[in-house]
Amino acid sequence: MASSNPSLFLLTVNGQIEGANFPEYDSLYCKYSYVYGHDWAITTGLEEGITQITCKSSLSQTLVWNFPLETTFKSTNPSGWPQIVISVYGPDVFGNDVVRGYGATHIPITPGQHTKTIPMFVPEPTWRLQKFTGNKSSFSRFCHRLLPHHHQRHEEDGLRHGTVQPPDCWWHGRFLTPASNLFIHLYFNAYFYIYILLQNSFFQ
């Protein structure tokens, strides 16, 4: 007698965080993490990471990281399709690292090469002094406002499950405001593999 398990598909993503346009800031780095539904899991690669610090050159005002991304997901359900959440940090006038922008985008849903540009958003200061010091709300608070009913993987950075709201919803209310001229550039190679799993059992 044979019984079948649910079919399984894999999503493999190779790419890189190429660079960013941040006209007002320099010496920046990125933190990234993946957000995905409960039916998804990472089989290979890192769930979160941090890039090197990069500076603008005399020839270009573009910040360049060219930081590699390589992750494979598995799932039985396309619901909760993975997204990558990126936060950019840099020094303030006192030399402390503060957030300079947040952004997110879905992993491409079609195979092939893709280039995406993510508009960045910044948290509004909760009190006036933060406008001067640049001390913004933490990434965990940012995620908590977006995902109040989902589990957080870490208190400070990153989420394991959930769905980030589309960027055009982020500035509703008083938490996030769009940061003009701030963009992150990503490059993806996406591949899909589908497996049908069969489990055989025999009665003696």
Q: What is the model's pLDDT at position 182?
A: 66
Residue ranges in the chain whose pLDDT is less than 70: 1-6, 123-182, 195-204
Q: What is the model's pLDDT at position 40?
A: 95
Residue 23's contacts (CB-CB under 8 Å, 6 or more residues apart) are 61, 181, 182
Q: What is the model's pLDDT at position 43?
A: 96
Q: End-to-end distance of the chain based on CA atoms, in angstroms?
A: 11
Q: What's the domain range around 151? A: 2-200
Q: What is the model's pLDDT at position 127?
A: 52
Q: How far apart are CA 196 and CA 173, in angstroms?
A: 45
Q: Tell me which amino acid residue 105 is.
A: T
pTM above 0.75, yes or no: no
* Lookup: tokens for 99: 């957030």
Which residues are paired to 200 by β-bridges? 2
How many structural domains comprise the chain? 1
**140 and 154 in contact (C-beta within 8 Å)?**
yes
What CATH code is carried by the domain that includes residue 164? 2.60.40.150
